[in-house]
Structure 1
Amino acid sequence: MKKFDEIKREPLLQEAAFKDSLSFWKEFYFERQAESFLSIERPDYVNVEGLSWSWCFGSLQLLVGLYSGGEAIDSLRPYAEHMFSQFQRHKQAYPDFSLKLWEPDAYQFALWLLSLAVLLNMPGRIEQVAGYLSDNAEDGQDLLLRQLFARVGIALAGNDLINKRPYAELLNAINAQGDEQQQALRSYLKQWYRGMRNCYWHDRHRRRSDAGFFGYWAFEAGMVTVLWDVDDAPYRNLPYYPKDLVDYARERQVIQTFPRSLQTATYSDAIAKSGELCPRTGVWVCDDWVVGPQTFMQGVEMPADEGRILTWRLVKGL
């Protein structure tokens, strides 16, 4: 039998502390039934909704921890199904639950959930994940998530990038090609961990003798690599890149589940108003200003007509 240090994917894991954490997560969030535990009568001051939520992120930490510890990816699928089912159970029990994208942890949860659903080829879970995102503009609507969900066939609102660090490089990657795309992903991975300082798990490997540390992974970089069919040679061995999960997805032809036609289909009715930043490079038309089709680069300010606010419509993504 191989030693733990030979099979672990996360080099920072310390065996004893990690196995203690893994045992706890399995016992409390996988082997124990959430429904029966949560149905126990409790005093009014006990936050049962908070206990229910703990099954969501506890199950997610268990899944990520198993990957970090070197478990075979096929063996992760039951844990992934369990994790997604806990989020769905929580949403059904508390319909007002939503991930507010201005919160760094919520934003990262959205990226992780989408990425894991794609990389483990669980397309039926993707629409559920989209349903967890708040539809209130005050809670955050994000251009990067809009484009990522568009790639898997789901339309979301969002014209601006909520967090430019480190996500601007990932946004650049999905709108670039060739060497430029590879270098954008490489740059994203190199600054990813520094950009996560506001997330609850940042630097967890330094705390309490590593208790609760489940590994650091930019799963979204793996998802973009697979869905945009990027050659990952320039960044394959960088920290935080889930290369084994990428290989798994490619071996199983996950990209066939998400044909490239989805990449532009949901943009056919995309709109942007004067003064807003162009959400995607492409050909735009304005029905109330006779200027003909115009090509705008992503990120430029959409023009007005001598102060008159116009509505632009995307007709072709580039």
Structure 2
Amino acid sequence: MSHFDQTRREPLLSEQAYLHSSTRKEADLADPALLALLDDPRRDASHSRGLQWDFACMALELTLQRYSGGEHLERVASYAQYTFVQFETFFRRHPAEKLKPWDRDHYQYILWLLTLAVCFGLETRIADIAHWTEREDEQAQDELLHQLFSRLDQTFNGGPLLFPEAFEHLLPGLDYAEQRGVNALTEYLSHWPASVKGCYWHDRHQHAEAGFFGYWALEAALVTVLWGIDDTPYRVARFYPAALVMHARYQRHDQRFPDQELAKRRPGWMYPSGTPCPWPGLWRCDEQPDLQQLIQHTAPFPHVNGKTVHWLLLRTHLTEEDWKRLG
């Protein structure tokens, strides 16, 4: 088994297809001839607009492709930042253009961009996404987007789901009852493959030259992080980007988006057994408050009597007495 096969996150992505497609995208995004076309006065506005849109979409696909290929998440984050630069350039040059949520692919772009902004701690981009999204048209009403944007202090009109077949199982996850959220995300992930059949990128893995960039229910990561759901029951689900959620929590990006209800339910993020410890210190078991343990950086949080429990950080700076007591 090659190194790529061991590190890739998308099992359907071959090394040859990955290298060919990602290299081509990198070259196109930096091609001086293509860049010159964007400002060529001899080209009509629609051609320039289309090319700039292609650049933005290509950058977004490349970000997801790098994630699928197993790239380090700090590097994937840099691609995400570049993606936002490309979208920002497009909407600055063409201010009349908007992401149209009633378009299935545009709806997916909104969810992808929101997920990247949240999971990589790019909170200033949330307002940009809201600005780029059409919100005034009478078709711009959707309960899922309303809930997501509201959670991020932005506005979007609520209403019936624009794509109920795709997202009806995700909506119940926007609840502060933990088990309800777990059940909703588990159900959503089981239905996810059927929900994306109408998307332009569906079935790309079957065509070597199609630029396959992976199958990921990124919105499941978005809801998991924003609603503080323990993803242990569905962490190994096929289309769930678990590494992205792990990164967001490890870097404490989830805490960039505080929420009163979440704070009341959980006074700080509790990490389930098996999760690598994000920083060394004294941790308390939520299920057994008298159980406190010194846990080192990257060491997996322990199980208790073979059961998954949750660990809450008490403090990182330990006194000499702590060290003596904990040995």
TM-score bracket for this pair, using the shorter chain length: 0.7 to 0.9
2: CA distance, partners of 1:176 / 1:135 = 27
Whether 1:236 and 2:235 are equivalent positions in the alignment is yes
CA RMSD of aligned residues (A): 2.2
For residues 12-37 of structure 1, the C-alpha deviation after alignment (integer angstroms, 9 at most, x for no partner) is 00111121000011111257597544
Superposed, 1:36-185 pairs within 5 Å as 36-44=36-44, 47-175=47-175, 177-185=177-185
2: CA distance, partners of 1:128 / 1:262 = 25
What percent identity do the matched residue pairs reach?
38
2: CA distance, partners of 1:43 / 1:249 = 42
Whether 1:216 and 2:215 are equivalent positions in the alignment is yes
- Structure 1 unaligned segments of length 5 or more: list them: 265-318
Give the deviation of 1:150 after TM superposition.
1.0
Given that residues 115 and 220 in structure 1 are in contact (C-alpha distance below 8 angstroms), is that contact kept between their aligned partners in structure 2? Answer: yes
Given that residues 25 and 62 in structure 1 are in contact (C-alpha distance below 8 angstroms), is that contact kept between their aligned partners in structure 2? Answer: yes
Given that residues 228 and 262 in structure 2 are in contact (C-alpha distance below 8 angstroms), is that contact kept between their aligned partners in structure 1? Answer: no
2: CA distance, partners of 1:47 / 1:104 = 23
2: CA distance, partners of 1:262 / 1:156 = 20
The one-letter code matched in structure 2 to 1:245 is L
The one-letter code matched in structure 2 to 1:108 is Q
Give the deviation of 1:77 after TM superposition.
2.3
* Matching residue of 1:308: none
For residues 247-297 of structure 1, the C-alpha deviation after alignment (integer angstroms, 9 at most, x for no partner) is 000011122211113889xxxxxxxxxxxxxxxxxxxxxxxxxxxxxxxxx
Structure-2 change in CA distance of 1:46 and 1:154 (3 Å)? closer
The one-letter code matched in structure 2 to 1:133 is T
Matched residues, number: 263
Q: Secondary structure at the match of 1:47?
A: helix
The one-letter code matched in structure 2 to 1:232 is D
Given that residues 192 and 218 in structure 1 are in contact (C-alpha distance below 8 angstroms), is that contact kept between their aligned partners in structure 2? Answer: yes
Given that residues 21 and 212 in structure 1 are in contact (C-alpha distance below 8 angstroms), is that contact kept between their aligned partners in structure 2? Answer: yes
Give the deviation of 1:139 after TM superposition.
3.7
Give the deviation of 1:245 after TM superposition.
0.6
* Matching residue of 1:19: 19
Given that residues 98 and 132 in structure 2 are in contact (C-alpha distance below 8 angstroms), is that contact kept between their aligned partners in structure 1? Answer: yes
TM-score (norm 2): 0.76
Superposed, 1:186-265 pairs within 5 Å as 186-207=186-207, 209=208, 211-261=210-260
Given that residues 37 and 43 in structure 2 are in contact (C-alpha distance below 8 angstroms), is that contact kept between their aligned partners in structure 1? Answer: no
* Matching residue of 1:287: none
1: CA distance, partners of 2:228 / 2:157 = 25
Given that residues 100 and 106 in structure 2 are in contact (C-alpha distance below 8 angstroms), is that contact kept between their aligned partners in structure 1? Answer: yes
The one-letter code matched in structure 2 to 1:51 is L
The one-letter code matched in structure 2 to 1:65 is Q
- Structure 2 unaligned segments of length 5 or more: list them: 264-327
Give the deviation of 1:3 after TM superposition.
1.2
Which has the bigger relative contact order, CA under 8 A and spacing at least 6?
Answer: 1
Give the deviation of 1:176 after TM superposition.
5.4
2: CA distance, partners of 1:30 / 1:114 = 25
Structure-2 change in CA distance of 1:76 and 1:33 (3 Å)? farther
2: CA distance, partners of 1:26 / 1:52 = 15
2: CA distance, partners of 1:180 / 1:215 = 28
Q: Secondary structure at the match of 1:61?
A: helix
Given that residues 105 and 200 in structure 1 are in contact (C-alpha distance below 8 angstroms), is that contact kept between their aligned partners in structure 2? Answer: yes
TM-score (norm 1): 0.78
Q: Secondary structure at the match of 1:217?
A: coil
2: CA distance, partners of 1:46 / 1:181 = 44
Structure-2 change in CA distance of 1:210 and 1:236 (3 Å)? farther
Give the deviation of 1:175 after TM superposition.
2.5
Given that residues 119 and 254 in structure 2 are in contact (C-alpha distance below 8 angstroms), is that contact kept between their aligned partners in structure 1? Answer: no
2: CA distance, partners of 1:236 / 1:171 = 19
